[in-house]
Every structure is written in C-alpha cells, then in structure tokens.
C-alpha cells in the first residue's frame, strides 16, 4: 500500500535510502559520505511529495518528488529495501509518482540516476539526456527524462 509519508518517518526513510544504496556494493565509507545527500528531513517531507510503500505495517520503500518547475518535475529519490527488490515495489512507487506528476500538470519527469538503476528506469521509458559529475572523481551520474 502506498501512503503519504509523515514527519515521524524521516529517520526510517533515511535508513532505507542508506541500506538500499549499500545493496549495490558501495563501501561503508562511501555510503557514509553520502549520508547528508540521502537524509530525508522534516522539511523535505513538508515541502515535497514523499510517499512510502507499506508492507505488513513496515516501510519497504519510498520516493521523493519535488514540486514541478516549468512543466517538468524531478524524482529526487526512489529507494526500496534490498529484500523487496524485484517484487514490483519500485515499479509501483514509480507509477504512483507518474500519477502525482500528472496531478501537478507536469509534462516530463527528470531524475539523476545511480548507474546501477539505469536499466530499471530505461525499462520504464526514461532516456539518458545528460550526465553530471558525482562526488567521486571521474564518476558521472546519468540525467534521465521521461515524457508523462
């Protein structure tokens, strides 16, 4: 079930982001260096659309959708706990985000993808339009877009 996240979820959502990111084999030090970027704050929950996927009263995943700018909206984060990867939860969260974007009258959705997530997003219709240098030297993150 997908429901709106609340202020009290911020710590759990941050944990999910860190655990999910670590699933791809990044070192503990690297994950820790990304903690600030992966932290879900109370301000983020109040300023953005933050939805969680609940399974048996536990949060299995979530997404953060920023407010639209010039008919485009940014999917800032989408994370699923590793034991739920491959069970359709990420897809359900993404399709829910598409519906929210349509409610905002957005014409396209953009995101900055982890390289490991590119096949997932491509399978849902996103294309790479650019790249942005990450905090790791000589590592670039794909900028992706999908018309909605």
What DSSP assignment string belongs to 82-122? Answer: GGGTTTTHHHHHHHHHHHHHHHTT-SEEEEE--GGGHHHHH
State residue 73's pLDDT score: 98
Task: Locate the domains of the chain by residue range.
Answer: 2-107
**Rounded CA Rg of the chain:** 15
Q: Does domain 2-107 correspond to CATH entry 3.40.630.30?
A: yes
What's the pLDDT score for residue 137? 75
Q: One digit per residue, pLDDT tens: the chain, 148 residues? A: 999 999 999 999 999 999 999 999 999 999 999 999 999 999 999 999 999 999 999 999 999 999 999 999 999 999 999 999 999 999 999 999 999 999 999 999 999 999 999 999 999 999 999 999 887 777 799 999 999 9
Q: What 8-state DSSP symbol labels residue 4?
A: E
| Cβ contact 75:97 at 8 Å | yes
pLDDT given for residue 50 in this prediction: 98
Q: Is the dihedral of CA 7, 42, 52, 34 positive or negative?
A: negative
Alpha carbon 116 to chain centroid, angstroms: 13
The pLDDT, as a whole number, for residue 134 is 80
């Amino acid at each position: 079930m997908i429901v709106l996240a609340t202020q009290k979820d911020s710590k759990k959502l941050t944990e999910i982001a860190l655990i999910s990111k670590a699933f791809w084999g990044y070192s503990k030090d690297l994950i820790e260096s990304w903690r600030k970027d992966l932290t879900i704050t109370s301000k983020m929950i109040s300023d953005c659309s933050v939805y969680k996927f609940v399974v048996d009263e536990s949060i299995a995943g979530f997404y953060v959708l920023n407010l639209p700018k010039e008919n485009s909206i940014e999917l800032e984060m989408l994370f699923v706990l590793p034991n739920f990867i491959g069970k359709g939860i990420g897809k359900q969260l993404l399709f829910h985000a598409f519906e929210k974007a349509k409610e905002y009258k957005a014409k396209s959705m953009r995101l900055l993808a982890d390289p490991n997530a590119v096949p997932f997003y491509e399978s849902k219709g996103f294309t790479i339009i650019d790249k942005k240098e990450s905090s790791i030297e000589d590592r670039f993150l794909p900028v992706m877009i999908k018309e909605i």
